[in-house]
């Protein structure tokens, strides 16, 4: 069963070839047997999943089922789930059963999808390797000595190892696309405002966006379609109907104009990754697309601007974790100041503290103009570069990450080199654009991701381009050894 796509499983459920309870038990069995090697789950919600599966089976029988009814999914532990621990990968929230469901959680459960558990992630989604999690690192199923990427590494590894057919993620600077690339699966981050952030624990609110992981663009489209939509409880949610992402999957790519930013193919890109990407681009030529070189002149400013804006917003967002209202509280405080400082000092890990310190510094009175204001101005320039490019092309493509999965521990002590893992992904968050990674080959047995960036609300276009590529290639069907 684990070799089947979401579309195939949904068809089996409707035809009565299997039940949701069987699918759910099969997923739980694989997690029990294989996840000890990967550490991709923080919490497995076995009883709740079986109850949901039985309810889904009743819906299927009654003829009241949608495409996700009865399908098991893994949920990033950043989304609030009522009564279920929602840790965000942090000691700070290790004791936190969320009192309510995030909008995304609610939408998926209402669609009849079966939540199998909550996935491991970098602490508060800060990281590119899953090594900052309080619950220990996640391993890459293609090579267990290597990282799965981050911050949504657990969600990516769980799909790559076929523990579940689909999962959720969030992407502030690349946290869906980079782990999708490193694990050889499909991951899409939609336009900012397309998926509600209500109940999605905030890292950097102007950049955070939820999205989906799957083995194929088609499955990712179904999952994203169920997650997306206007939500009056999120003030940045966009009130605009959700496109039918499945309806456009089969549109031919004849005449599609693909822009290749010269800045994404230069120094810093691993040569073998670059040539795998070139081969993928040739496939698009064969599909009838026209490839043109473009320039995003401010591309090299994306990482520095992000590492001012994201820490600034996180220093504000994470001030709510004070040891008083919820989360970790230090034992036997002497006084209020001691309660605050020790609760935060003991509850947060090193990377989170580093970001809070950078952010508080960048926002402080004497430095605001020099750092935060400047970063916001750069952000505008980056957005303008993209808008100009989209006057000329329909989709922008390049590598998702500069290298394949690196070894555990390899970059853990070198934050700047870690930050550069997101050099190609961050600009889409700064501009609020939709972007996706699809599997596009292997280098020495490790997956390579092709990155697609679209214009605002062009998720359907990206999924279509991904799906067409997946009709003529089979990278997305490869399963890591030991997980077949
Ligand atoms: N790796 C980036 C960071 O550490 C992006 C993380 C994310 O997208 N949540 O901030």
Q: Is the CB of 174 under 6 A from ligand 1?
A: yes
φ and ψ at 419, to 5 degrees? Answer: -60, -30
CA distance linking residue 293 with residue 389, whole number of Å: 10
Among the listed residues 27, 129, 155, 175, the single catalytic one is: 175
- At 429 the three-state DSSP class reads helix
Q: Is the CB of 196 under 6 A from ligand 1?
A: no
What is the structure's pLDDT at 417?
86
Q: Ligand 1 centroid to 186 CA: how many Å?
A: 18
What is the structure's pLDDT at 413?
86
Nearest to 254 by CA among 282, 217, 284: 284
Can you spell out the DSSP letters for 315-366?
Answer: HHHGGG-SSSSSS---SS-SSHHHHHHHHHHHHS-HHHHHHHHHHHHHHSTT
Q: Is the CB of 201 under 6 A from ligand 1?
A: no
| Domains defined for the chain, CATH in brackets | 6-253+436-477 (3.90.1300.10)
CA distance linking residue 325 with residue 335, whole number of Å: 16
CB 188 within 8 A of CB 449: no
Q: Is the CB of 128 under 6 A from ligand 1?
A: yes
Q: Ligand 1 centroid to 129 CA: how many Å?
A: 9
CA distance linking residue 79 with residue 38, whole number of Å: 21
Q: Ligand 1 centroid to 38 CA: how many Å?
A: 21
Predicted structure pTM score: 0.98
Nearest to 259 by CA among 307, 216, 299, 212: 299
- At 246 the three-state DSSP class reads coil
Q: Which two tokens stand for residue 312?
A: 């600034």
Question: Is 76 a catalytic site residue?
Answer: yes
Q: Whose CA is nearest to atom 4 of ligand 1?
A: 127
CB 362 within 8 A of CB 316: no
Q: Is the CB of 313 under 6 A from ligand 1?
A: no
CA distance linking residue 418 with residue 246, whole number of Å: 36
Ligand 1: which atom is nearest the Cα of residue 174?
8
Among the listed residues 5, 76, 90, 129, the single catalytic one is: 76
How far, in Å, are 81, 185, 249, 343, 422 from residue 88 at the CA level? 11, 23, 33, 16, 20
What is the structure's pLDDT at 1?
86
Sign of CA dihedral 181, 185, 191, 196: negative
CB 439 within 8 A of CB 476: yes
Q: Ligand 1 centroid to 151 CA: how many Å?
A: 6
Among the listed residues 19, 87, 129, 151, the single catalytic one is: 151
Q: How many Cβ atoms sit within 10 Å of the Cβ of residue 10?
A: 22
CA distance linking residue 434 with residue 394, whole number of Å: 12
What is the structure's pLDDT at 246?
98
Give the pLDDT of the chain (484 residues) as one tens digit per residue. Answer: 899 999 999 999 999 999 999 999 999 999 999 999 999 999 999 999 999 999 999 999 999 999 999 999 999 999 999 999 999 999 999 999 999 999 999 999 999 999 999 999 999 999 999 999 999 999 999 999 999 999 999 999 999 999 999 999 999 999 999 999 999 999 999 999 999 999 999 999 999 999 999 999 999 999 999 999 999 999 999 999 999 999 999 999 999 999 999 999 998 999 999 999 999 999 999 999 999 999 999 999 999 999 999 999 999 999 999 999 889 999 999 999 999 999 999 999 999 999 999 999 999 988 888 999 999 999 999 999 999 999 999 999 999 999 999 999 999 888 888 888 999 999 999 999 999 999 999 999 999 999 999 999 999 999 999 999 999 999 999 999 999 9
Q: State the distance between the two ends of the chain, measured CA to CA, in whole angstroms.
A: 11
| DSSP symbol at 200 | B
Can you spell out the DSSP letters for 203-221?
Answer: SSTTT-EEEEEESSHHHHH
Ligand 1: which atom is nearest the Cα of residue 127?
4
Q: Which two tokens stand for residue 355?
A: 């970001």
């Amino acid at each position: 069963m684990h070799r089947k796509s979401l579309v195939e499983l949904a068809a089996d459920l409707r035809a009565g070839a299997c039940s949701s309870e069987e699918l759910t038990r099969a997923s739980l069995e694989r997690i029990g047997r294989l996840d000890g090697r990967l550490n991709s789950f923080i919490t497995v919600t076995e009883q709740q999943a079986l109850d949901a599966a039985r309810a889904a089976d009743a819906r299927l029988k009654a003829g009241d089922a949608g495409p996700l009814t009865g399908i098991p999914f893994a949920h990033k532990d950043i989304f609030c789930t009522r009564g279920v621990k929602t840790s965000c990968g942090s000691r700070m929230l290790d004791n936190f059963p969320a009192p309510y469901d995030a909008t995304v959680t609610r939408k998926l459960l209402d669609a009849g999808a079966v939540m199998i558990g909550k996935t491991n992630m970098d602490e508060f989604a800060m990281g590119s390797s899953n090594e900052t999690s309080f619950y220990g690192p996640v391993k890459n199923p293609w090579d267990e000595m290597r990282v799965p990427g981050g911050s949504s590494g657990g969600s990516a590894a769980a799909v790559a190892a076929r523990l579940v057919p689909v999962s959720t993620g969030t992407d502030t600077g690349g946290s869906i696309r980079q782990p999708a690339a490193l694990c050889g699966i499909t991951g899409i981050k939609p336009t900012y405002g397309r998926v509600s952030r209500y109940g999605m624990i905030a890292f950097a609110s102007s950049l955070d966006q939820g999205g989906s992981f799957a083995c194929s663009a088609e499955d990712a489209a179904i999952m994203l379609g169920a997650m997306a939509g206007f939500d009056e409880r999120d003030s940045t949610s966009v009130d605009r109907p959700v496109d039918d992402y499945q309806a456009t999957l089969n549109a031919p790519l004849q005449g599609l104009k693909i822009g290749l930013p010269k800045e994404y193919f230069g120094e810093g890109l691993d040569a073998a990754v670059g040539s795998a990407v070139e081969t993928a681009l040739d496939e698009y030529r064969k599909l009838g697309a026209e490839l043109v070189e473009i320039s995003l002149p401010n591309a090299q400013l994306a990482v520095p601007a992000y590492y001012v804006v994201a820490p600034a917003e996180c220093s504000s967002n994470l001030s709510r974790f004070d040891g008083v209202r919820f989360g970790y509280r230090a034992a036997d405080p002497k006084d209020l100041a001691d309660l605050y400082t020790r609760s935060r000092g003991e509850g947060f890990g090193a990377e989170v503290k580093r970001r809070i310190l950078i952010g508080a510094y960048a926002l402080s009175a004497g430095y605001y103009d020099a750092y935060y204001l400047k970063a916001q101005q750069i952000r505008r320039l980056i957005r303008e570069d993209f808008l100009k490019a989209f006057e000329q092309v329909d989709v922008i493509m390049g590598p998702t990450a500069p290298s394949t999965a690196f070894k555990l521990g390899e970059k853990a002590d070198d934050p700047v080199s870690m930050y550069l893992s997101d050099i190609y992904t961050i600009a889409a968050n700064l501009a609020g654009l939709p972007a996706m990674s699809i599997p596009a080959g292997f280098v020495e047995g490790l997956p390579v991701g092709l990155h697609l960036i679209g214009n605002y609300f062009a998720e359907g276009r990206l999924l279509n381009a991904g799906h067409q590529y997946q009709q003529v290639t089979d990278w997305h069907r490869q399963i890591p050894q030991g997980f077949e």
